[in-house]
Amino acid sequence: MIGDPISHTLSPAMHNLALAHHGLNMRYLPFHITPKDLSYAIQGFRAMRMVGFNATIPHKESLVSMVHRLDPSAGRIGAVNTVLIDNNRELIGYNTDGYGYLTALTQAWGRDPKGATVLMLGAGGAARAILLTLLEAGVSRIVVANRTKARAQALLDGLAVHFPNANTDALYLRMADLPLEQCDLLINCSSVGLHGDAFDGLDLSRLPSGAFVSDIVYRTEPTPLLQQASALNIPCQDGLGMLVHQGAKAYEIWTGKTMPTDIVEPYLRSLNGAE
């Protein structure tokens, strides 16, 4: 795993548990790699004949132009979070974020999002992968609300070439203007909540019956968004499931084996709660 910063990632614990479960003579290690050292690090990985690596902030977009081949989903998303180094030392770039989110969402919600109206708060790093995956899954409408409306619109414009007929809209993140009453799925794609902060003025009681709240942030204590949802008996999920399932897809790409997510996720929750 490469990133800047990297110190708090749970990915090594996840992958090393799975590798031990399958008895594989491999290790998954975190490397603090700054943008200026990215190309040197990749060449080192190739020279050492590593099987592959994950990438997090700020390297996902940079890797698109640095790999030899792109999986179609990574090409559409414009970001790479998983790289396979093949026997010829060529780099093949994938993006497993959307798969991880959709798998975790479907399990937690108990349904797929086809036909749903989605309200997304924030247009951060994972938003593009989640947006594209939800559009592929057949949601009926997506509204992206961001503190900078232009950034939300740019995110949607970047996907328009793949989904020219998609029903989408960009809004300024003003709580009174959010179409909560028409929302089936509310997603926090921003970092709000990571440090215990909240969306001031967000009233989840405006959501219709049957709505689901999804937060891609994961932390020891539930975020204020999830605390409010739970207090109102609105079903919800944090971001740990997305982490696990995007990691499971990467693990399969590297090893050809299925990660034991039923063992991994409880283990990570026990670690996260102990920190």
CA distances from 193 to 99, 190, 216, 222 (A): 23, 8, 10, 9
255 annotated as belonging to a binding site for a ligand: no
Residue 128 labelled as part of a binding site: no
Judge contact between 217 and 223, C-beta under 8 A: yes
Does 151 count as an annotated binding residue?
yes
Cis peptide before 30 (omega within 30 of 0): no
Q: How far apart are CA 173 and CA 148, in angstroms?
A: 8
CA-wise closest residue to 14 among 218, 210, 206: 218
Is 239 annotated as a binding-site member? yes
Q: Is 182 annotated as a binding residue?
A: no
Nearest to 225 by CA among 240, 210, 237, 242: 237
Nearest to 68 by CA among 84, 56, 53, 47: 84
Confirm whether residue 220 is marked as ligand binding. no
Residues 6+ apart with CB under 8 A from 195: none
Q: Known binder of ligand: residue 146?
A: yes
Known binding residue 9? Answer is yes
246 is in an annotated binding site: yes
- Cβ-based burial of 31 (10 A; exposed 0-12, middle 13-18, buried ≥19): middle
Catalytic residue, from 36, 60, 114, 257: name it.
Answer: 60
Is 23 labelled as part of a ligand binding site? no
Has 228 been labeled as part of a binding site? Answer: no
The verdict on whether residue 124 carries a ligand-binding annotation is: yes
Residues ≥6 apart with Cβ < 8 Å to 200: 175
Question: Look-up: residue for tokens 């999920």?
Answer: 237
Asked whether residue 40 is marked as a ligand-binding residue, the answer is no
**Residue 114 is among the residues annotated as catalytic for this protein:** no
Binding-site sequence positions for shikimate: 9-11, 56, 81, 97, 218, 246
Binding-site sequence positions for NADP(+): 122-126, 146-151, 216, 239
Task: List, by residue number, the catalytic residues.
Answer: 60
Binding-site sequence positions: 9-11, 56, 81, 97, 122-126, 146-151, 216, 218, 239, 246
